[in-house]
Amino acid sequence: MSERTPGYVPPADASRIVRRLKGYEVDCEVLVSLFVTGCYWAGKEHEDLWWKSLERIANPRTDFPSPFTGLWYELRRYPALLLLYAGGVAATAHRQYSTLVKLLTSGVVSDIGIGDKGLLVLVNPTKMFSEIPDNTFRKIFDVRSIYGASNRLALTLRDPFRGLLAQDRDYNEAFDRFEYFLALAYADIAPEMAQGWTPIGRWHSGKGSVLERVTKEAADAGDDWAPLKAGLFGGAKERYARALQIAQRSYNRYYAA
């Protein structure tokens, strides 16, 4: 049987998963470029366009029977993950924090079995690739790193950013900062699901990490911290403090060693 045979669920081996990911990446090239440019330069009048478009992509059709379950079901939202990262990195790079907040907090995803959830609860790398066995994960992402999925996303999205962020160091800084904001937003939106962890990202690695830099920036700025003023954590310092504690526990528990 082929992958096009009705009712056939292909084995979730590394080659098939890579083929599926690459297919989605090719299909999304134009949309990714639009999100990069649009969210980098976005004004407030355009913010709803981006998060509503993201929400639409994150809710694939469910009005017909599908044999796909488990990993294949999760991967239907890989295009939404690409667009979330494309727009989020762009908004972070240009300090468009109001746009960033909309992308991270405004969308809703309807999922069979668990109902409606905030988009970020289901559209993040840890959730999306959680059903891939460790040995298969290493084959797919060609690394033993726990943030191999982040490395793939960073590599996939690099070219669309070259016209805006020519230097790799600027791109990597924006990418890592976005992943850290994603982790904080997840901890704030779903603290009961976080339970001491946040989505895996590159932000936890190395001395002088993004976690340390952003924490210092927030402490120095106080009430004038730009992400907080833009509405991240509902503009509440108490919610930021709670999310920061979860992110720090996640760092210390899983990654620091």
pLDDT-derived band of residue 66, with 50, 70 and 90 as boundaries? low
Taking only the tens place, the pLDDT of each residue in 172-193 is 999 999 999 999 999 998 866 6
Alpha-carbon gap, residue 200 to 21, rounded angstroms = 19
Mean pLDDT of the region 146-156: 84
124 is a domain residue: yes
Q: Of 60, 91, 85, which Cα lies nearest the Cα of 73?
A: 60
6 is a domain residue: no
- Give Cβ neighbours of residue 144 (< 8 Å, ≥ 6 apart): 138
Number of domains composing the chain: 1
224 is a domain residue: yes
Taking only the tens place, the pLDDT of each residue in 80-137 is 999 999 999 999 999 999 999 999 999 998 877 677 888 998 899 888 777 676 667 6
4 is a domain residue: no
Q: Which residue has the higher pLDDT, 193 or 197?
A: 197
200 is a domain residue: yes
How confident is the model at residue 3, as a pLDDT?
A: 52
Q: Which residues pair with 110 in a beta bridge?
A: 116
How confident is the model at residue 69, as a pLDDT?
A: 58
2 is a domain residue: no
123 is a domain residue: yes
How confident is the model at residue 83, as a pLDDT?
A: 98
pLDDT-derived band of residue 1, with 50, 70 and 90 as boundaries? very low
Taking only the tens place, the pLDDT of each residue in 2-57 is 454 445 566 677 788 888 888 999 999 999 999 999 999 988 889 999 999 999 99
How confident is the model at residue 9, as a pLDDT?
A: 62
Does the pLDDT value for residue 73 go beyond 60? yes
Alpha-carbon gap, residue 81 to 78, rounded angstroms = 5
Q: Provide the domain limits for residue 238.
A: 14-255
How confident is the model at residue 181, as a pLDDT?
A: 96
- Give Cβ neighbours of residue 51 (< 8 Å, ≥ 6 apart): 102, 103, 106, 107
8 is a domain residue: no
